[in-house]
Amino acid sequence: MFKGVFTALITPFRYGEVDVEAYKKLIEWQIESGVDGLIVAGTTGEGQSLSQEEFIKLIEVAVDVANKRVKIIANTGMVSTLKTIELTKIAQEKDVDAVLVIAPYYIKPSQEGLFQHFKTIHDLTNIPIMLYNNPNRCSIDINNDTIVKLSNLERIKALKECSGDILRCSKLKQEISSDFSIMSGDDQMMLPLYTQGAVGVISVVANIVPALVVQLHNLWNESKINEAIEIQNMLMPLCEALLCETNPVGFKYAASQFEICLPDVRLPLVQLTEPNKKLIRESLQVLKAKLYESE
């Protein structure tokens, strides 16, 4: 289930409300570009700033538009176990393919607390689960021993890895079953983690250049390593520019340059400063020039 390119979707807003029409067009474009799956209401989708009604609407629209052409994964990870279970059950009822569950942020539980958190969610729901490890966001790392224990549970099937530890992937591959997938959660770490056994990427830059990320993934799978590295190198400056401010502020501004949606974000996020808008515009122009040269 978990391999290939999964886009962590932005949530388009128009004057404070979810822009459903822009969202539908974004999903259709992603599917036409060849992605394998879509993450709904994640960090990139400003999931923590959505009401429950908006969360449900985004899932319903994604499931309807995708119509089984790609996998739909809903982000249901919250700071409390009970709230995570509640959202996971809602997502399950809405016929998503799986849920993404991040480590509880702010609380900083022990490794045993992390294990019991994920195990309880697993035991009280009936849907495949992708763990999400992001110590930078959560101030807690799901360590390897905990991941291995969790991978033995029936429906915990994958890990979105954002620790920055390149070797973690290869170490885990020695201890987990072959049907447990490790996905890069960072566009800039995509190829490094692929060399260590990752089988896909949860991509944010795919909101802007989905076909290019799909091409990079396919080149790697075809053992065209030099060509894959060339595309990764082309993407790196853009990825760095897009992260000039907190995700997804830069990505939404870039999307607005392609008329995908407005650059609107919700507080406490605010729109880019003028210098950073210029930085992103210039990075997009450089990438466009490089793509033209390579044709």
Single out the residue of 117, 114, 60 nearest to residue 83, CA to CA. 117
- Indicate the length of the chain as a whole number: 295
pLDDT score of 235 more than 80: yes
Q: Taking residues 256-266, report their average pLDDT.
A: 95
CA distance linking residue 38 with residue 6, whole number of Å: 5
What is the pLDDT confidence band of residue 216, given thresholds at 50, 70 and 90? very high
Q: Is 132 among the residues known to form the active site? A: yes
Check 3, 71, 160, 277 and give the catalytic one: 160
Single out the residue of 144, 83, 134 nearest to residue 111, CA to CA. 144
What is the pLDDT confidence band of residue 294, given thresholds at 50, 70 and 90? low
The pLDDT of residue 12 is 98
The pLDDT of residue 295 is 59
CA distance linking residue 132 with residue 147, whole number of Å: 10
Cα 57 → chain centroid = 19
Q: What is the pTM of this model?
A: 0.95
Q: Taking residues 90-113, report their average pLDDT.
A: 96
The pLDDT of residue 289 is 86
Residue ranges and CATH numbers for the domains of the chain are 4-224 (3.20.20.70)
As a whole number, the mean pLDDT across the chain is 95
Q: Taking residues 178-192, report their average pLDDT.
A: 94
Check 3, 23, 132, 277 and give the catalytic one: 132
